[in-house]
Amino acid sequence: MTNPIYLDYAATTPIAPEVVDSMLPYLSNTALFGNPSSLHSFGEKSGDAVEYARKTIAEYLHCKAKELIFTSGATESNNLAIKGIASAYRNQGKHIITSAIEHKAVLDTCKYLETQGFEVTYLRPNNKGLIVLDDILNAITGETILVSIMQVNNETGVIQPIGEIAQALKDKPLFFHVDAAQSAGKIAIDLSTTPIDLMSISAHKFYGPKGIGGLYISKRKKPHLQPIVHGGGQEHGLRPGTLPTHQIVGMATAFQLAQKNLSKDFEHCRQLKRSLLDILLQVEGVTLNGGQEHALPNIINLSFDQVGSDSLIIALRDSLAISSGSACNSGAIEASHVLRAMGIEGDRLYGAIRISLGRYTTEAEIKKAGHAIAEEIRRLRELALT
């Protein structure tokens, strides 16, 4: 049996062959397996590879290498940033601002902090899925210590005005955290001109390995974070634990590839999106969710009247791998909190599917997928009538 066509790149991407090649020596070479913290030559070789990788990633992000620490991914980085600020600055204030369309790694962290006496404002986006700067500014009180807004939404692909928000918050006595899990490696990020204080990244969203990510901690406002894990003192004591050299090297290669392919990947996705929409917008009762003016082309969120997303995804599961929204919600099909927050209801809410594509998706695959979806919609609607 052949594999279904993979259209769930926002959940995770296949690892690039170049990334695998760069990681292999750190898994198989008998001189390169050392603990990067060790003082002997084995440790030194691994340590050098880790620091070279840190420098490479910092170059892509336009920040200093010492402003980056390695974590297991964006979930951990988001937890460390938000809980780390909350516990370090709780005497300054107990108010956090975020948005209702964040990933659960931010939302559930904030929910947890509410049980610890913090107050959280969850801003709703407009009907295009955009967070409005004035809403953030109006929500700030003397107690606000942190604003956390994602750069690209994982369900709609909508890009938030992070640069504008960062400029507006830069002189305020609070910190600005950005969840860049869906944007790092897909759009250029210049931290030397964008005054973000903390930023979470994850390698497996852009052709790197799973289980590795990072947190950027700016030297500008120097946020002091309380660690959430305690141990051997690695990563300035903020994220102790033996560093996984092969994963870190893989993430750096993924960033190098991203740098090289940024506009090519973007244009490729834009063309594929156009081909898919040429087919699917012909179907009656279809809606494209999320504003299209400021969106990454690799994520396409569509609703079909009278068709539940679960029936569609299950009916197509042998030929297409697509999702109903946030696949990170442990596979459960439930109405999307993102679309709900955008004011979407009824069929449009329960019928939404997310198609996400990337570097290795082909025009032939996208056309095949488009026709299969259109055909299945017709079949499911006919079935519902009989």
Ligand X SMILES: Cc1ncc(COP(=O)(O)O)c(C=O)c1O
Residues labelled catalytic:
328
| Site residues, ligand X (CB under 6 A) | 73-75, 103, 105, 150, 154, 179, 181-182, 202, 213, 328
- Report the length, in residues, of the chain: 386
Taking the complex as a whole, the smallest distance from the CB of residue 73 to ligand X amounts, in Å, to: 3
C-alpha R_g of the chain = 21
Q: How far apart are CA 206 and CA 266, in angstroms?
A: 12
Taking the complex as a whole, the smallest distance from the CB of residue 75 to ligand X amounts, in Å, to: 3
Residue nearer to ligand X on the CB measure, 23 or 150: 150
Taking the complex as a whole, the smallest distance from the CB of residue 385 to ligand X amounts, in Å, to: 37
* Residue whose C-beta lies closest to ligand X: 73
Q: How far apart are CA 140 and CA 154, in angstroms?
A: 26
Question: Which residue is it, tokens 């070789």?
Answer: 45
Residue nearer to ligand X on the CB measure, 75 or 144: 75
Rounded to the nearest 10°, the torsion over CA 279, 281, 283, 288 is 130
Both tokens of residue 199? 């930023």
Residue nearer to ligand X on the CB measure, 280 or 355: 355
Taking the complex as a whole, the smallest distance from the CB of residue 165 to ligand X amounts, in Å, to: 16
Q: How far apart are CA 120 and CA 118, in angstroms?
A: 6
Q: How far apart are CA 98 and CA 32, in angstroms?
A: 42
Per DSSP, the three-state class of 201 is strand
Taking the complex as a whole, the smallest distance from the CB of residue 342 to ligand X amounts, in Å, to: 16
Residue nearer to ligand X on the CB measure, 56 or 77: 77
Q: How far apart are CA 88 and CA 187, in angstroms?
A: 32
Residue nearer to ligand X on the CB measure, 201 or 312: 201
Question: Which residue is it, tokens 């927050």?
Answer: 341
146 touches 82 (CB < 8 A): yes
∠ Cα 15 18 24 (to 5°):
85
